[in-house]
Structure 1
Amino acid sequence: MIYGAIKFSLGGSLKLAFRPWVEGLENIPVDGPAILASNHLSFSDSFFLPAVLDRKVTFVAKAEYFTSPGVKGRLTAAFFKGVGQLPVDRSGARGAAEAAIKAGIEVVERGGLFGIYPEGTRSPDGRLYRGKPGGLGRVALATGAPVIPIAMIDTEKVQPPGKVVPKLIRPGIRIGKPLDFSRYHGMEEDRYILRSVTDEVMYEIMKLSGQEYVDIYATVAKRQAAEAEKAAKAAAKADKADKAHQHGGSSSSDGDRDRPAA
């Protein structure tokens, strides 16, 4: 009920304001379970995709969205519940991963659509990063559900990271043909199979999106970028201090030369 109301109001508003284009909508099953594996460019991805589909899509979201205090916190929690998000505590990496996998399996086993971002986080620069095998692979192999690759196009231009007010840019969504991994059913503990399944899905997403592929995790890229920025700031600070020291030393020397002899 709540999902339908929010989808009607928010989804309708998004489609009216941004006019997202869609290719491959026929690849989404009319009923029955499926896993929607998408690239992740923007916070708005989780809203644009459900807006163009007739069926409910369930994603997982960090638990903080559901537990923040005050009126704003309660409204935020109600909103995320209403749009089909499931809370996952990310305070412990291993526990969060297990909770997300369990939630995904439950959604699929109920015959629903489970949405997942194999990269694990938003792309820091618009490129496509290596998929994490645990979540996607384990849900797919434990349930035998088809995996549908999806490419979000230009959503990072609609709402760049850190920006609250979106730009009226028309995004797109390409939906690929379902991938069948039922031949690996029950092999969700085999890390080589998980890696192979994830890489196959990421390859299909790359073809759909046209993104440059980077064979490292997005979390690693973000950490490297943060470390590089920190090092650059430290170097700039040291350079500034060195120049200030040199200027001060130069002034002292000039003063000594100008002082008359006793």
Structure 2
Amino acid sequence: MISYRDITLGLEKLGLDRSTPVLAHVAPSRLGEIRGGMETLLGAILATIDNVMMPAFTGSTMIIPEQGPADNNLDYGSGRDTNLNASIFSTQLPCDLPEAQICEALRAYSGTYRSSHPILSFCGLGLDVALIDQTPADPYAPIRKLMELNGWVALIGAQPAENFSLHYAEFLAGRKQFVRWALTENGILECPHFPGCPDGFHKIDYYLQDELRVTTVGDAAWYAVPLDILVNSAVALIKEDPFSLLCNSLSCPRCNLVRRSIKSQISNNWQPE
């Protein structure tokens, strides 16, 4: 069983402290039994880190339109029934990620602020400045601002595929992304720069060996790295090898669309000697 002290020591071993703003991806289900549950877990995090934010994503707001751009990994017109069950986004809409309970605990904490992206919102404490400018057209604003604040990203039992900041690196490197639509109190909004498949993100760890901090708490590995090092390393890697960080599944529709886009760019830029 993991205690409050185990959690605070684990965070300290990762080099995190009160002066470090952190984007935390937390997977309570992989941490094992926690003495005191979510209250203990969140309390230990907030006792160690003053300024923290977590994903508060709401895929339930998405709808499928009748038509849209090509190569977008959507079956247009297929949502006539499911669209009726879409949720209207508000800052009070519960997060629907698989590990939503920790974000919901943070969202209920006094003084937190939630950004307004109808699909990819974040909830944070002491990081209003990083969250306030996120819009449907600029989903990566919180990541960009956190980099300016010399922030870190921490995976607390979470898997590399949950490291959302790497999607920002893909965006900066010019990699193809997608468009989605969400239901809001002001109607349906278009949400560009929607991320692709993250199942190849574990490959970045090899290039971060000197910078990635790792510790084990209970049965789970925890990781932390400065955001600027993570994002800049990934951007450089993608620019050197445009196919890097894609997953290995030949049947992955999102990665295959990205591969097709890369091959088209290479073909269009090719010139005979």
TM-score, normalised to structure 2, is 0.33
TM-score, normalised to structure 1, is 0.34
Per residue, is there more helix in 1 or in 2?
A: 1
Per residue, is there more strand in 1 or in 2?
A: 2
Which of the pair has more CA radius of gyration? Answer: 1
